[in-house]
Amino acid sequence: MKSTVEQIRARFDQDVERFSNLETGHSAAVDSPVSLELISRAAAAISPGATHILDIGCGAGNYSLKLLQALPNLNVTLVDLSQPMLERAAQRLQPATNGEIITRQADIRELELGEAQFDVIVAGAVFHHLRGDAEWRSVFAKCHQALRPGGSLWISDLIEHSTPSVQALMWERYGEYLVQLKNEPYRELVFGYIAQEDTPRPLMFQIDMLREVGFRKVEILHKNSVFAAFGAIK
């Protein structure tokens, strides 16, 4: 059985410090600084006049902070399961924007986002917690509805591959990355909580689903091993 929402929330409540560094907060993800940079620049290029962003699974606020470097003084809505993460994110964002900062402690599967509320939505390392196809479709459709016309959704996340032999190859490469980053026990630690918590889906599954719920254009910014950064435009 996979971890419950409460179990996932509890783990992240204890992990605020690790996610409070813009450069290393997502170090277990391959090429995290590259994805942060590409997503922030792509969002700014698509929506240079943006006024309001939504950060789903915001953690300690790294993606919002990076976006504010490219799009200053935005209104920011932060959503996360963890209240300590939300508090740290709001604290870090306050000096970076003159806009309003709104925090929502919630599960994105249950949260109402409204219609045409945001110019940019970012989701960093969060959607891999979604389970069946219906949850993926519902959350992607909810994001589409919440965006203003021309707005964009940007995702950086763990993915899997449809072909078992390719998945095995990419998983081996990811394991080598984790060993090089720290050591073999760290690899086993990361592999353990992925097996316990996560249900990633292939990149193409997500691309197809984004189109299915109504996004008119999809862009793949970066892919390395079992991680990808990509987005969709309404």
Spatial CB neighbours of 95, under 8 Å, sequence gap ≥ 6: none
* pLDDT above 90: residue 148: yes
Report the C-alpha gap between 155 and 104 in whole angstroms.
19
Provide the CATH topology of domain 5-161+199-233: Rossmann fold (3.40.50)
Region 161-180 average pLDDT: 97
Spatial CB neighbours of 34, under 8 Å, sequence gap ≥ 6: 222, 229
* pLDDT above 70: residue 20: no
Predicted confidence at residue 71, as pLDDT, reads: 93
Region 171-196 average pLDDT: 94
185-233 pLDDT tens trace: 999 999 998 999 999 999 999 999 999 999 999 999 999 999 999 999 9
- Among residues 223, 60, 216, 81, the alpha carbon closest in space to that of 153 is found at 216
Predicted confidence at residue 17, as pLDDT, reads: 66
Report the C-alpha gap between 221 and 193 in whole angstroms.
27
Taking CA 157 as the corner, what is the angle to CA 48 and CA 117, rounded to the nearest 5 degrees?
Answer: 40
Q: Work out whether strand 227-233 and strand 147-158 pair parallel, antiparallel, or are unpaired.
A: antiparallel
Taking CA 19 as the corner, what is the angle to CA 17 and CA 25, rounded to the nearest 5 degrees?
Answer: 125
Taking a C-beta distance cutoff of 8 angstroms, is the pair 89, 76 a contact?
Answer: no
Taking a C-beta distance cutoff of 8 angstroms, is the pair 53, 75 a contact?
Answer: yes
Task: Report domain extents, the chain.
Answer: 5-161+199-233
Percent of the chain with pLDDT over 70: 94
* pLDDT above 90: residue 24: no
**In which region does residue 111 sit, left (phi positive, over 0), alpha (psi from -120 to 50) or beta (all else)?**
beta
SS3 of residue 2 by DSSP: coil
Phi, psi values for residue 118, rounded to 5°: -130, 150
